[in-house]
Amino acid sequence: MENQKDTIVIGVIGSDCHSVGNKILEMFFTSEGFKVVNLGVMVSQQEFVDAAIETNARAILVSSLYGHAEIDCQGFRELCIEKGLDPIILYIGGNLAVGKTPFSVVEEKFKKMGFDRVFPPDVDLKQVTELLRQDIKEKFGSSLKGQRARDGANQAGPENQNQTANQISQSDKNDSKEPEGSKSK
Amino acid sequence: MKTLVSIDIGSTWTKGATFSLTASGLELLERVSVPTTQNNLVVGFHETLARLLHQDSHTSLEELKDRAEVFFSSSAKGGLRIAAIGLVPDLTLQLAKLAAMSAGGKVIKSFSFSLTSSDVKELEQLSPDIILFSGGTDGGNSKYVLENARKLESSRLSCPIVYAGNRAVAEEAINVMKSREVIVTENLMPEIGQVNIEPAREKIREIFLKRIVVGRGLAEIVELFGAQPKPTPLAVFELISAIPEFYPEWSDLAAIDIGGATTDFYSNTESYLETDTVVLKGIREPKVKRTVEGDLGMRVSARSLFETGQDYLQDRLREEGLEFKDMEEFVGRISDKIDYLPVGDKEKIFDRLLAEACVYYAALRHIGGWKEVYTPQGKVYMQTGKDLRRVKAIIGSGGFLSEERTAAVMAIPLKKLRNYGEEIKLLPEKPDFYRDRYYLFSLLGNLIEKYPREASTLAVASVEKLNQKGEQND
């Protein structure tokens, strides 16, 4: 059932038009069983929020590659709260600062701005997926719907109550083709 | 040879025409107008039909009926009054407005997010003909939709509600609104950015037939002629849709219809051309689009037009060397007496300026724009709304523009729009201007369903190309 998947909104924020990584992310998260709403490049905060409201999304995953993320993301969490999206999960990843700022500094900065998780450009997307599933489960209760839908079995047995990374990797094996871009770039 | 009659029952005039249909096509025989009889539309309809068929007015409708194939439309007091409810203003609400307008309706009010109790009160006061109720993608947000459904249920509204929101909770929404007449149709926006307004349009049309027709005598006509009326704007919409199908050289087409109460803008052209340097924001608008402006009109809406159009009018009055307060006086006069005809050169200019302002603001709202953005990858344009750059022909219709012999009334305001704000308006680049010489578009639109090719052919043949230099043609 299509509408049982967890919906996530992705896009590249600001005046950034790097579109390749964005398409890879869409393919990857779709193959991981999420319902992906891809807003493409040059997305404003307002567009992210609007799309998340209409689709009842669990998370917004913001990409930025051109170094201006800090400016583009000012007030993002506040806007979400203003618009009634209080529990929404906010992730950000990419080249988040210009120059050689250590990642820990960058991470702290964006967490202070209200992002739940911050990722460097070379993060393993598998890891992101697992964290995302965890976070969705924590914030919205019964999650892993995406997983269930993806398996197609749809037998709501007790094992679904407590799905683990083990099962996730199991179902990954069933996928004949691994998405190419396991690394975001 | 077959005789066809097409009648359009407008808010002030009932217009009609007879056509002969032969193997070689459709030909206009005669065109008449009589005042609309508001309390019983049949009287004016009867008179129009009798005059068109050269019968005396005592001939019964039954007798007249057998003498021609009759088609008709009704503007239903200036169009169906639709209230649009959506979730996010730029997404589902925007589509609800587009769907309502493309179905021949007039959006009297729109609401986003949650309806407040004062919103509900306002709705009750406005008493719309239809509520178009949307919100949420399929499987998406249901909170607002269900909350609004509960509010509609407990309101004192009695009009039908077209539900075109989140499909996943459609049944639940019907259950909530169990004492209402709810018509469920496909979601206007099943996915973010996916535009699906046709099913809702169709439902609105059906309701128009069933509901609005009852009461002012139209039902009698429907029964007698075995044919359903069209909403007038929908007739024009269908004509604008059909013409390029038969005449590809007329693809990329726009039409402006200025009436006493409203200004309608139609376009038939691809709304967005994807390139590396143009990024579309918001929804991708439909290829055939109609917008209707209830505050722009030559008489009934002259006062609101004068208010909306201040900036444009001040600018033009300065160019024409005329006084603002003189025009204000003129607008007062025509608003008090809506059948007033301008006297003398000065008043004629005022009248033309009103028409120009209608074109200017209707085009401003219909046509999209580009914003320049500098990115590390170079200059990029962000497009919102519809791109009309490729439109090659703009046709003027309605009482005023059908009579207008030069392109200036349309060309001047469109030219002025080029410098509107910081945004680059996506105006037709090199359009030719035409007029609907015999004011036939709505009448031909009535024939489209049955005689699409013939009606399109006559529409194309009956428009006249206008001189752009400002001289009169004849």
**Which candidate, A170, A126, A137, places its Cα nearest to that of A29?**
A126
Domain range annotation of chain A: 2-174
B247: amino acid identity, one letter = Y
Neighbours of B10 (CB within 10 A): 24
Between positions 31 and 60 of A, the ones with CB within 8 A of B are: 35, 37, 39-42, 44, 46-47, 50-51, 53-57
Kindly state the tokens that stand for A42: 């040059």
Q: Give the pLDDT score at B211.
A: 66
Confidence of residue B76 (pLDDT cuts 50, 70, 90): low
Nearest CB partner across the interface for A3, out of B135, B138, B282: B138
Tell me the whole-structure pTM to 2 decimals: 0.84
Mean pLDDT of the B186-209 span: 91
Question: Looking at the complex, does the CB of residue A61 fall below 8 Å from at least one CB of chain B?
Answer: no
Q: Which of A6, A16, A72, A116 is catalytic?
A: A16
Between positions 114 and 143 of B, the ones with CB within 8 A of A are: 135-143
Below-70 pLDDT ranges, chain A: 1-3, 142-185
Q: Give the pLDDT score at A94.
A: 95
Q: Which residue has the tokens 């049982």?
A: A4
Question: Looking at the complex, does the CB of residue B92 fall below 8 Å from at least one CB of chain A?
Answer: yes
Measured between alpha carbons, how far is B469 from B472 in angstroms, rounded to an integer?
Answer: 9
Q: Which residues of A touch B190 (CB under 8 A)?
A: none
Q: Which residues of A touch B379 (CB under 8 A)?
A: none
Shortest CA distance from A67: residue in chain B: B376
Q: Give the pLDDT score at B470.
A: 47
Each as own residue / partner, the long-range contacts of residues B182-185 (CB below 8 Å, 24 or more positions apart, any chain) are: B183/B207
Shortest CA distance from A38: residue in chain B: B192
Q: How many Å from the N-terminal Cα to the C-terminal Cα in chain A?
A: 31
Q: Is B357 left (phi over 0), alpha (psi -120 to 50) or beta?
A: alpha
For residue B240, is pLDDT > 60?
yes
Q: Give the pLDDT score at A28.
A: 97
Q: Tell me whether 0.85 is exceeded by the ipTM.
A: no
Residue to test with chain B: of A17, A54, A58, most B Cβ within 10 A: A54
Verify whether residue A68 is a known catalytic residue: no
Q: Which residues of A touch B114 (CB under 8 A)?
A: none
Average pLDDT over chain B, rounded to whole?
92
Question: Looking at the complex, does the CB of residue B90 fall below 8 Å from at least one CB of chain A?
Answer: yes
Radius of gyration of chain B (CA): 23
Helix B408-417 / helix B344-366 crossing angle, nearest 10 deg: 50
For residue B67, is pLDDT > 80?
yes
Confidence of residue B212 (pLDDT cuts 50, 70, 90): low
Residues A53, B141: C-beta atoms closer than 8 Å: yes
Mean pLDDT of the B127-137 span: 95
pLDDT tens-digit profile of B384-432? 999 999 999 999 999 899 999 999 999 999 999 998 888 899 999 999 9
- DSSP line for B265-326: EEEES-S---BTTEEEES----SEEEEEETT--SSTTHHHHHHHTHHHHHHHHHHHT--HHH
For residue B217, is pLDDT > 90?
no
- The topology (CATH level 3) of A2-174 is Rossmann fold (3.40.50)
pLDDT tens-digit profile of B137-159? 999 999 999 999 999 999 999 99
Smallest CA–CA distance, residue A185 to chain B, in Å, is: 16
Nearest CB partner across the interface for B87, out of A17, A35, A54: A54
Which of residues A143 and B335 earns the better pLDDT score? Answer: B335
Q: Give the pLDDT score at B79.
A: 66
Q: Give the pLDDT score at A149.
A: 39
Q: Give the pLDDT score at B300.
A: 85
Radius of gyration of chain A (CA): 16
pLDDT tens-digit profile of A138-183? 999 864 444 333 333 333 334 444 433 333 333 333 443 334 434 4
* All structural domains of chain B: 2-74 (3.30.420.40), 80-210 (3.40.50.2300), 234-465 (3.30.420)
Confidence of residue B262 (pLDDT cuts 50, 70, 90): confident
Measured between alpha carbons, how far is B196 from A17 in angstroms, rounded to an integer?
Answer: 28
Verify whether residue A72 is a known catalytic residue: no
**Which candidate, A174, A11, A160, places its Cα nearest to that of A91?**
A11
Residue to test with chain A: of B85, B87, B88, most A Cβ within 10 A: B88
Measured between alpha carbons, how far is A156 from A161 in angstroms, rounded to an integer?
Answer: 8
Q: Strands, E, within B102-229: which ranges?
A: 105-111, 130-133, 161-163, 182-184
Containing B403, the helix (H) or strand (E) segment is: helix B398-403
Question: Looking at the complex, does the CB of residue B189 fall below 8 Å from at least one CB of chain A?
Answer: yes
Cβ atoms of B27 and B458 within 8 Å: the answer is yes
B92: amino acid identity, one letter = T
Mean pLDDT of the B244-261 span: 95
For residue B12, is pLDDT > 80?
no
C-alpha pair distances (Å), A16 with each of A40, A72, A73, A80, A95: 10, 10, 13, 21, 11
Q: Which residues contact A108 (CB under 8 A, 6 or more apart)?
A: none
